[in-house]
């Protein structure tokens, strides 16, 4: 079963210094943190903050190509997590036919924001991600998980949704 989620915001992992996009279930209390790259975080942040760029960025280019080809994005889905790596798919529609395209979650989310498409996560992914070891060598991984679960809107700085 797919759970619709919204972007709660972007934060920086205080330990690894890597960006995390935090998804939340609007009608529930479940969250899903996904560690992403700096460039992908920037692409997401630009859209969250409605910051125009002088030329199309990669995800803008993809949106423009899809639009010109009359291909819609019905939704994106975070479909799996294996070895602490998340997987996603982009569900497109063209002339009544559905196409599913494999993607990294960060790219799928950046595109969904630009296409105003909903973001879903498979329920099994949320369940399994809750038990992930965030870092096998990190003694404070449980502390990091607790920190993520208790984030308040003001903790997201300028990247609030």
Q: Which secondary structure element, helix H or strand E, spans residue 110, and what is its range?
A: helix 105-115
141: in domain: yes
Q: Find out whether 62 and 72 touch, Cβ atoms under 8 Å.
A: no
Name the domain count of the chain: 1
Task: For the chain, report the end-to-end CA distance as a whole number of angstroms.
Answer: 25
Per-position pLDDT tens, the chain of length 161? 999 999 999 998 888 889 999 999 998 778 899 999 999 999 999 999 999 999 999 999 999 999 999 999 999 999 999 988 999 999 999 999 999 999 999 999 999 999 999 999 999 999 888 755 444 333 444 555 566 666 666 555 544 43
64: in domain: yes
**pLDDT the model gives residue 135:** 43
Would you state the structure tokens that stand for residue 35, as one six-digit string?
């560690």
**pLDDT the model gives residue 108:** 98
Q: Domain holding 142: CATH number?
A: 3.10.690.10
37: in domain: yes
Q: Find out whether 66 and 117 touch, Cβ atoms under 8 Å.
A: no
Q: Which residues of 88-122 are buried (b: 16+ CB within 10 A; e: fewer)?
A: bbbbbeeeeeeeeeebbbbbbbbbbbbbebbbbbb
**pLDDT the model gives residue 84:** 85
Q: Which pairing describes strands 72-82 and 85-94: parallel, antiparallel, or unpaired?
A: antiparallel
**pLDDT the model gives residue 30:** 85
93: in domain: yes
161: in domain: no
125: in domain: yes
Residue 116 domain boundaries: 2-156
**pLDDT the model gives residue 81:** 93
**Total-model pTM:** 0.82
Q: How far apart, in whole angstroms, are the C-alpha atoms of residue 74 and residue 91? A: 6
**pLDDT the model gives residue 14:** 82
Full strand arrangement of the beta sheet holding 2-12:
31-35, 19-24, 2-12, 119-122, 72-82, 85-94, 97-103
Q: Find out whether 22 and 36 touch, Cβ atoms under 8 Å.
A: no
């Amino acid at each position: 079963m797919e759970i619709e989620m919204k972007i709660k915001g972007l934060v920086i992992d205080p330990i690894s210094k890597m960006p995390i996009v935090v998804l939340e279930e609007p009608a529930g209390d479940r969250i899903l943190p996904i560690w992403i790259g700096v460039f992908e975080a920037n692409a997401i942040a630009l859209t969250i903050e409605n910051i125009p760029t002088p030329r199309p960025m990669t995800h803008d280019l993809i949106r423009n190509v899809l639009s010109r080809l009359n291909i819609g994005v019905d939704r994106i889905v975070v479909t799996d997590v294996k070895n602490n790596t998340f997987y996603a798919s982009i569900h497109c529609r063209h002339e009544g036919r559905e196409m599913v395209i494999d993607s990294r979650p960060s790219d799928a989310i950046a595109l969904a924001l630009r296409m105003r498409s909903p973001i879903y996560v498979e329920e099994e992914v949320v369940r399994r991600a809750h038990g992930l070891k965030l870092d096998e060598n990190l003694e404070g991984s449980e502390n990091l998980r607790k920190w993520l679960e208790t984030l308040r809107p003001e903790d997201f700085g300028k990247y609030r949704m």
